[in-house]
């Protein structure tokens, strides 16, 4: 990447005779946020320390602009690279004094902070949400508050490169957003290159321009968030099953954790093996739905690796459109027509073949009443606990009579818990 501000090529690091980084190559440009993610021990912190010049690699090289990082004088490097560690060292200084330490690279020998330095410190403290703590000793703050002070100190440095090690790890939801908004603002306003190690995958997907997924000291996937945050990649790196969907507001990838994969496998890009077994592999789930009640669930089930089938669905039904797009087997029916005996028989065969049947909170009329009756043939029945059934019955009570024994036969589950219940039941 020719226009990279910070670049690493083939960087390897040994700690205590153990390889921690193995041939890592990356680059960060001005104005972008690059996220590092991966399991504990994957090398994220060591990589940040190497990029900051605090850890010397035994192989490979790091360049800041066009100059090798190792040949840059420490004072000049401190003006160009700001590093935020995971936790604050203990000391008796106040918050304002701590943040003003970020101005030291810009001061001459024996020079004291001036009015401009204090103004910069107070401004970044405001952006990090710690202005009210200015006179308090840093040791009296909570872990999350100290973390925000460290961010303010890094911002006060006004460097061209910002290296952040887990900047949101100890923060509540509000301050995670505040911190990442401040980082995004810094990258945009001053054209700063940011590299941040992050465990919160959804937050990383929301704020980062590019992601690097690490495992065992290597980068196993790199690219845009939607290219890196995939069920396959996260299964390989973390050993977990996930559903990845676009956030309804931002459009960025949103990660929902389902559970552990159960079998660890080979990381993406490594030779040998086919990787870990997917959570739903070999398990058939039949979804009885209609009018969009099963759309999201079918998508989640397919993403988790389940073999999914569905009920009799008429032409024009939004659930049918979803099933067709996902290649989910279902029984097709003409639009606005009642389920025929032939269609019902085909539907019963799909129910019989399923390990689980999920009955969604769908509206039931005369046309699709047989779909409800078919649920009685389930070996294991999960009933989505949504709207009261009285609001879904458009048959004058016949559907309610069919639904009552299903409640005793099956298990009622809140919609967000369906996949977790399936995972436990099929493990």
Q: Tell me, what's the pLDDT at 372?
A: 97
- Phi–psi pair at 71, nearest 5 degrees: -95, 0
CA 289 to chain centre: 29
H/E segment holding residue 413: strand 411-413
Contact between residue 267 and residue 236 where contact means Cβ atoms under 8 Å apart: yes
Q: What would the mean pLDDT of 346-354 be, rounded to a whole number?
A: 97
Q: Tell me, what's the pLDDT at 424?
A: 81
Distance CA 213, CA 4 (A): 19
* Per-residue buried b or exposed e for 302-313, using 16+ beta carbons within 10 Å of the residue's own CB: bbbbbbbbbbbb
For the stretch 370-422, pLDDT in tens is: 999 999 999 999 999 988 899 999 999 999 999 999 999 999 999 888 988 99
> Helices 173-190 and 143-156, interaxial angle, to 10°?
0
Tokens for 408? 């005793």
Q: Is the pLDDT of residue 302 over 70?
A: yes
Q: What would the mean pLDDT of 223-235 be, rounded to a whole number?
A: 92
Distance CA 315, CA 80 (A): 62
Q: For the chain, what is the radius of gyration of the CA atoms? A: 27
Distance CA 287, CA 273 (A): 32
Contact between residue 373 and residue 399 where contact means Cβ atoms under 8 Å apart: no
Q: Tell me, what's the pLDDT at 386?
A: 85
For tokens 């956030």, name the residue. 247
3-state secondary structure of 82: strand
- Beta strands 307-314 and 329-333 are parallel
Question: Which of the four pLDDT bands, split at 50, 70 and 90, describes residue 278?
Answer: low
- Phi–psi pair at 209, nearest 5 degrees: -80, -35
Distance CA 220, CA 334 (A): 48
Residue 283 vs residues 55, 265, 295, 391, 415: alpha-carbon distances, Å: 48, 20, 19, 32, 19
Q: Tell me, what's the pLDDT at 264?
A: 37
Q: Tell me, what's the pLDDT at 325?
A: 86
Q: Where are the alpha helices (DSSP H) in 52-199?
A: 74-80, 95-100, 115-128, 143-156, 173-190
Q: Is the pLDDT of residue 272 over 70?
A: no
Q: Tell me, what's the pLDDT at 270?
A: 38
For the stretch 78-117, pLDDT in tens is: 899 999 998 777 788 999 999 999 988 888 777 777 889 9
With the CA atoms of 146, 29, 201 and 164 taken in that order, what torsion angle do they form, in degrees rounded to the nearest 10?
-20
Q: Tell me, what's the pLDDT at 3?
A: 76
3-state secondary structure of 210: strand
Instruction: Return the higher-pLDDT residue of 33 and 260.
Output: 33
For tokens 């818990």, name the residue. 417
Q: Smallest Cα–Cα separation from 202: which of 235, 251, 155?
A: 251
Instruction: Return the higher-pLDDT residue of 110 and 364.
Output: 364
For tokens 């900051």, name the residue. 52
Sheet of 307-314: strand order equals 329-333, 307-314, 284-288, 356-359, 381-384, 411-413
Q: What is the DSSP letter of 396?
A: S
With the CA atoms of 28, 178, 170 and 248 taken in that order, what torsion angle do they form, in degrees rounded to the nearest 10?
-80
Measured from the Cβ of residue 162, the count of other Cβ atoms closer than 10 Å reads: 26
3-state secondary structure of 340: coil
Mean predicted lDDT score pLDDT of the chain: 89
Tokens for 205? 């997907």
Contact between residue 13 and residue 19 where contact means Cβ atoms under 8 Å apart: yes
For the stretch 116-168, pLDDT in tens is: 999 999 999 999 999 999 999 988 998 889 999 999 999 999 999 999 999 99
């Amino acid at each position: 990447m020719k226009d990279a501000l910070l670049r690493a090529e083939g960087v390897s690091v040994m700690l205590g005779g153990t390889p921690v980084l193995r041939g890592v190559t990356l680059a960060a440009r001005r104005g972008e946020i690059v996220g590092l993610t991966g399991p504990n021990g994957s090398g994220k912190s060591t990589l940040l320390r190497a990029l900051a010049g605090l850890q010397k690699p035994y192989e490979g090289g790091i360049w800041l602009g066009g100059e090798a990082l190792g040949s840059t004088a420490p004072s000049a490097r401190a003006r160009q690279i700001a590093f935020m560690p995971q936790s604050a060292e203990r000391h008796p200084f106040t918050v304002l004094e701590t943040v003003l330490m970020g101005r030291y690279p810009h001061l001459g020998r024996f020079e004291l902070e001036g009015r401009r330095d204090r103004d910069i410190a107070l401004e970044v403290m405001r952006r990090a949400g710690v202005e009210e703590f200015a006179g308090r000793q840093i040791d009296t703050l909570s872990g999350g508050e100290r973390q925000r002070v460290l961010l303010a100190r890094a911002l006060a440095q006004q460097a061209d490169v910002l290296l952040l090690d887990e900047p949101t790890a100890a923060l509540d939801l509000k301050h995670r957003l505040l911190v990442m908004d401040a980082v995004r603002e810094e990258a945009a306003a001053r054209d700063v290159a940011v590299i941040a190690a992050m465990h919160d995958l959804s937050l990383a997907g929301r704020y980062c321009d590019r992601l690097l997924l690490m495992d065992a000291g290597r980068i196993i996937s790199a690219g845009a968030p939607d290219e890196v945050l995939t069920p396959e990649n996260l299964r390989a790196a973390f050993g977990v099953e996930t559903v990845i969907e676009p956030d309804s507001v931002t459009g960025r990838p949103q990660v929902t954790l389902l559970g552990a994969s159960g079998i660890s496998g080979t990381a993406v890009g490594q030779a040998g093996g086919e990787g870990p077994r997917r959570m739903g592999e070999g398990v058939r789930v039949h979804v009885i739905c209609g009018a969009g009640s099963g759309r999201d669930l079918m998508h989640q089930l397919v993403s988790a690796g389940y073999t999914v089938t569905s009920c009799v669905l008429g032409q024009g039904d939004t659930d049918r459109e979803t099933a067709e797009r996902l290649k989910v087997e279902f029984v097709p029916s003409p639009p606005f027509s009642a389920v025929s005996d032939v269609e019902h028989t085909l539907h019963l065969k799909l129910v019989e073949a399923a390990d689980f049947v999920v009955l969604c909170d769908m509206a039931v009329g005369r046309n699709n009443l047989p779909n409800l009756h078919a649920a009685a043939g389930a070996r294991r029945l999960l009933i989505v606990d949504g709207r009261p059934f009285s609001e879904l019955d458009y048959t004058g009570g016949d559907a309610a009579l069919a639904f009552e024994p299903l409640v005793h036969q099956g298990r009622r589950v809140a919609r967000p818990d369906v996949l977790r219940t399936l995972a436990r039941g099929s493990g």
